[in-house]
Chain A
Amino acid sequence: AQKITQTQPGMFVQEKEAVTLDCTYDTSDPSYGLFWYKQPSSGEMIFLIYQGSYDQQNATEGRYSLNFQKARKSANLVISASQLGDSAMYFCAMRELGTGNQFYFGTGTSLTVIP
């Protein structure tokens, strides 16, 4: 089974609007971390936001927030007030405490911000 599932290959959003990128995960480990990374066309992977499995509140970092629904095993990324520079690939990833620090990545969602 896939550890991380991103079902939206491509998304479009109007500039200044909010957008939600979906991510579901599969684990039986009670201790894990969830991450979102941004990859612009230049290729570098940029860390955006982190949510720990024991965190009680949803993580927020500036315009990024993570909608963490533990029972549903989902960790959707919400980008508020989209900017043209947000156009990029977005990857959801998970790290399990019990598997020696290995990261599992999803297949990514391509976000295009329309002026």
Chain B
Amino acid sequence: EAEVAQSPRYKITEKSQAVAFWCDPISGHATLYWYRQILGQGPELLVQFQDESVVDDSQLPKDRFSAERLKGVDSTLKIQPAELGDSAMYLCASSLELRPGLAENEQFFGPGTRLTVL
């Protein structure tokens, strides 16, 4: 069964260091999402791609976060410099483009990267 791949699964870093997370969506999924999930809360959308284009990055802290999906397939999320408050789970998800009535409308999530900033 096709899955969304993410790496690394765990990352521990010191504040002010740079970190990068990688995501490979399910083949054929045009839409890719990056979420941040703080413990005990729901996922918060950071950035959404449609193919290689950014559709929504309104919640992305652009002074330190960047995301790219150069060839419209896999994606990288970077934080530089990391801060203590960035400690969270970073989830990547992908989906087919939304079309009414299609059962395949759900997002498929990767296992996540758990980031700890010391």
- CB–CB B43/A91 < 8 A: yes
Closest Cβ of chain B: how far from A100's Cβ, in Å?
A: 5
23 A-B contact pairs sorted by A residue (CB < 8 Å): A31-B100, A33-B98, A35-B106, A35-B107, A43-B112, A44-B111, A46-B109, A52-B101, A54-B100, A54-B101, A91-B43, A93-B107, A97-B98, A100-B50, A101-B48, A101-B55, A101-B97, A101-B98, A102-B48, A102-B56, A103-B93, A105-B43, A108-B42
Complex-state Cα separation, A112 to B44, whole angstroms: 24
Given A43-B89, A43-B112, A47-B106, are A101 and B50 neighbors across the interface (CB < 8 Å)? yes
Q: Are A103 and B33 in contact (CB under 8 A)?
A: yes
Number of A-B contacts (CB under 8 A): 68
Cβ contact of A102, chosen from B45, B91, B97, cutoff 8 A: B45
Give the CA-CA distance A108 to B38 in the complex, in Å: 12
Residues of A within 8 A of B (CB): 31, 33, 35, 37, 43-47, 50, 52, 54, 91, 93, 95, 97, 100-103, 105-108
Residue of A nearest to B91 (CB): A45
Between A93, A97, A102, the greatest number of chain B beta carbons within 10 A of the residue's beta carbon is seen for A102
CB distance from B98 to the nearest CB of A (A): 5
A6 to nearest B CB, angstroms?
8
Given the complex, which residues of A lie within 8 Å of B114, measured CB to CB?
43
| A43-B112, A44-B112 as given contacts; A97 in contact with B100, CB under 8 Å | yes
Contact bitstring B95-115, A, C-beta under 8 A = 1, else 0: 101101101011111111010
Please provide the 10 A-B residue pairs with the shortest distance between their CB atoms, ordered closest to farther.
A45-B109, A105-B42, A47-B106, A101-B98, A107-B42, A43-B112, A33-B105, A105-B43, A100-B55, A101-B31
Q: Identify which of residues 58-86 in chain B touch chain A, using a CB-to-CB cut-off of 8 Å.
A: none
A110 to B43, CA, bound (A): 15
**Within 8 Å CB of B42, what residues of A?**
91, 105-108
Q: Is the CB of B48 within 8 A of A52?
A: no
> Which of B44, B105, B109, B110 interacts with A95 by CB under 8 Å?
B105
B27-65 Cβ-contact flags toward A at 8 Å (1 or 0): 000010100000011111100101000011000000000
